[in-house]
Amino acid sequence: MGKVKIAIATKGHKGLADEVADHFAKAETFTLATIDGKRVHLEVIENSAANLPRGRGRAVIQMLRDKVVNTVVAGEFGVGALALLKQEKFNVSKVQAGMKVSDVIRDGLYKKRMF
């Protein structure tokens, strides 16, 4: 597998020690993990769309597209966000909310795609 850039919906700024957020578009932050072989580079970004009354999914997806992300991970996804992610050809993985980011990466859970 070549280089993969994953956006994991997270609850804070703890990097590998952070927890997966309950909901994709409402996540406080996204932990971006660029995986190239055995090397992992992390970056945590704020979800500027988290408090929008409408259109969160679309705004988040555009933000992640701008960051050249190709895989997203969260505890839950809204129907609208899922449709947009599929349309934009993102790889989507649903995992247990509260899991540690380190476990998602170490165990390769980002590879278990919904579609």
Q: Which residue ranges make up each domain of the chain? A: 4-111
Instruction: Please state the pTM of the whole predicted model.
Output: 0.96
* pLDDT attached to residue 114: 87
Contact 27, 74 (CB under 8 A): yes
Residue 78, pLDDT above cutoff 70: yes
The answer on pLDDT for 115 being more than 90 is no
Q: Residue 63 pLDDT > 60, yes or no?
A: yes
The answer to whether the CB of 10 falls within 8 A of the CB of 29 is: yes
Judge contact between 23 and 72, C-beta under 8 A.
Answer: no
Q: By the 8 A CB rule, do 24 and 92 touch? A: no
**28 touches 74 (CB < 8 A):** no
Q: Does the domain spanning 4-111 belong to CATH 3.30.420.130?
A: yes
Predicted pLDDT at 65: 97
Inform me whether the pLDDT recorded for 2 exceeds 80: no
Count of all residues that appear for the chain in the document: 115
**pLDDT at site 35:** 95
77-80: long-range contacts (C-beta < 8 A, 24 or more apart)?
A: 77/23, 77/24, 77/114, 78/23, 78/24, 78/25
